[in-house]
Amino acid sequence: MRIVVMGGDGFLGSHFVDEAVKAGHAITVFDRFSGGHARNLEHQRGCVRFIAGEFANRDDVLQALRGQEIVYHFVSATNPATSWNNPFLEIEENLRHSVQLFELASKENVRKLVFMSSGGTVYGRQSGLIDETVLPRPFSPYGIGKCAIEHFLNYYHDHGYLTADIYRIGNAYGSRQPMHAPQGVIANWMARILDAEEIVAYGGADTVRDYVYVGDVARLLLQSVAQVSDAGIYNVGTGRGISITELLDIFGRVIDRPFRVRMEPRRDFDNPYVVLDSRRLIARCPGFQFSDFEEKLGETWEYVNLHYRKR
């Protein structure tokens, strides 16, 4: 298939590109490529087509879409922290430009559009195992923005313009994750340990997340290519909840150097509890099993030790 990956040089996008190339697809990667270099995909130069551009620029996006069969949309200009006190960021930087992408894709006769939503924010304050039948109740601008983008994509699907898949992804972790961003507690903690700074842990036993390995996410996303004519909403999470307190214990077993911890109350924009039921998606991927968390955490630690650069 001819696939364009919007934001394909980022954390999640680059891992998906690697899996899609391995599966034999013709891949175009659309990203900024500052300085003419890829952050995460230089090893794919010559194997994939790179298009540098701005997601906000209509002509740049149109150039990337021409001749493509499937679009994967990984672009996000915000995170839960940056938009908490400025909801207009979600409207201007994410919602507006995503709807523009859907409009252009429909005019270019793209067969399918695949959107990366946020399982950690769209459901809001819930308890228990969350499946796709649970009504989303986002309380943060980030989650509200993701939910609005989902609805606009469903609008284009319902009007017959696009087939669409939506993936509500849990707390992804692994290699290539930005290490000084507010989003991504595992990468953030590892950066602080390498900088000999104390870890700041927000919340405790009452703050629970579903951590899913980025390689598992990338492989599951290929389901959309295998079943192009189908449309659906899918959770991507392991179904295992890990509290901040438990995560600190696991760090103590996996990380091979001492570290200091400062405990702080959970922040206003943090969801207290997210554990995702992914059985709808796993049923479409026979034989798939999620990776062992401690094993992949150890591999991630090895990776950042080799590649980390202090800011």
pLDDT at 311 over 70: no
For residue 221, the surrounding DSSP H or E stretch is helix 214-221
Residue 229: pLDDT band (50, 70, 90) is very high
Q: Check residue 300 and give its pLDDT.
A: 97
Tens digits of residue pLDDT in 124-179? 999 999 999 999 999 999 999 999 999 999 999 999 999 999 999 999 999 999 98
pLDDT at 310 over 80: no
Buried b (16+ CB within 10 A) or exposed e, 42-62: eebeeebebbbbebeeeebbb
| Plot region of 67 (φ>0 → left; ψ -120 to 50 → alpha; else → beta) | left
The stretch 235-249 carries a mean pLDDT of: 98
Q: Check residue 183 and give its pLDDT.
A: 78
Residue 103: pLDDT band (50, 70, 90) is very high
Tens digits of residue pLDDT in 249-294? 999 999 999 999 999 999 999 999 999 999 999 999 999 999 999 9
C-alpha 17/C-alpha 281 separation (Å) is 20
Encoding tokens for residue 80? 């839960």
Degrees (nearest 5) of the Cα angle 162, 79, 57?
50
The stretch 226-254 carries a mean pLDDT of: 97
The stretch 178-194 carries a mean pLDDT of: 90
Contact between residue 162 and residue 105 where contact means Cβ atoms under 8 Å apart? yes
The stretch 235-258 carries a mean pLDDT of: 97
Percentage with pLDDT > 90 across the chain: 95
The stretch 179-203 carries a mean pLDDT of: 92
Q: Where are the domains of the chain?
A: 2-173+211-238+277-291
Percentage with pLDDT > 70 across the chain: 100
Q: Which residue has the higher pLDDT, 83 or 309?
A: 83
Distance from the Cα of residue 31 to its chain's centroid: 15
Q: Which fold has domain 2-173+211-238+277-291?
A: Rossmann fold (3.40.50)
Residue 209: pLDDT band (50, 70, 90) is very high
pLDDT at 188 over 80: yes
The stretch 244-248 carries a mean pLDDT of: 98
Mean pLDDT of the chain: 96
The stretch 102-121 carries a mean pLDDT of: 97
DSSP string, 158-209: HTTS-EEEEEEE-EEESTT--SSSSS-HHHHHHHHHHTT--EEEES-TT-EE
